[in-house]
Structures are given as structure tokens and as C-alpha cells.
Amino acid sequence: DVQLVESGGGVVQPGGSLRLSCETSGFTFSDYWMSWVRQAPGKGLEWVANIRNDEREKYYHRGFAQGRFTISRDNAKSSLFLQMNGVRGDDTAVYFCTRDQRSIGLPHAFWGQGTLVTV
């Protein structure tokens, strides 16, 4: 079974940094695009960033993630990361890791349970 387990969330002061991790299992991690999606308390889903299987393409939400957040992955450890710098109050959210597909433009097929970041 596909499993995604996020960690690294917590309470952080405005302007601080946090590194989120997503450990995966049950599929060949190096074959798939991966994304981070967040959900502020009581609000809807908001895409944050995604990364190609070989890291050659990375995309960020230009409204809030570009320049502050960095997505990366370690295919040898089947893990996805999100480095968050200069955090703000409106970054408070549950951050979900998603396993997408082999090509971009297809559904966010599997989701982790999320990790809560409180700024």
C-alpha cells in the first residue's frame, strides 16, 4: 500500500524556518512527481509546490512560496522535503504531501495525513 507520512511541523515564530519531511513507501518513489498542498484552519486546499521525479523541474506557488520555500527530494531515501524560510502568520496550515503521477497534469493520487505548522 502507498504510504506517505509527514513530519517536521510545529510552532515557529514569524520570520523563522522549518523543514517538513515526507517519508514514503509502497511505490517506486523515483518514478513520480510529488507535491505539497496546504490547508489553513477551516479553509480550502492550496497547492504549494511540486517536483519532478529527477528534480529537474520544480514549481512553486508564485503568490507565496516562490523565494521563501524550497522543495527537494531524496530518491535514495524515498523522501520529500519542504524547507520553509521567513514564515508568516498566513503560512499557518496543515501541510500535506501528495504522490502525483509519472507525468505532470494528472491527479494528486495519494495524500499523507499532514503535519501542522503554526506561526
Partner 1 sequence: SYMLSQPPSVSVAPGQTARVTCRGDNFERKSVYWYRQRPGQAPVWVLSYENDRPPGIPDRFSASKSGDTATLTITRVEAGDEADYYCQVWDNSGDALSVFGTGTKVTV
**Least distance to partner 1 from the beta carbon of 106, Å?**
8
Q: Taking CB under 8 A as the rule, does residue 63 contact partner 1?
A: yes
- Per-residue HEC secondary structure of the chain comes to CCEEEEECCEECCCCCCEEEEEEEECCCHHHCCEEEEEECCCCCEEEEEEECCCCCCEEECCCCCCCCEEEEEEHHHCEEEEEECCCCHHHCEEEEEEECCCCCCCCCCEECCCEEEEC
Q: Which listed residue (44, 76, 89, 90) binds partner 1 by CB under 8 A?
A: 44
Q: Does 11 bind partner 1 (CB under 8 A)?
A: no
**With binding defined as CB under 8 A, does residue 45 bind partner 1?**
yes
- Identified binder of partner 1 from the candidate list 20, 95, 112, 115, rule CB under 8 A: 112
**40 near partner 1, rule: CB under 8 A:** no
42 touches partner 1 (CB under 8 A): no
Q: What are the residues binding partner 1 (CB under 8 A)? A: 35, 37, 44-47, 50, 59, 61-63, 96, 104-114
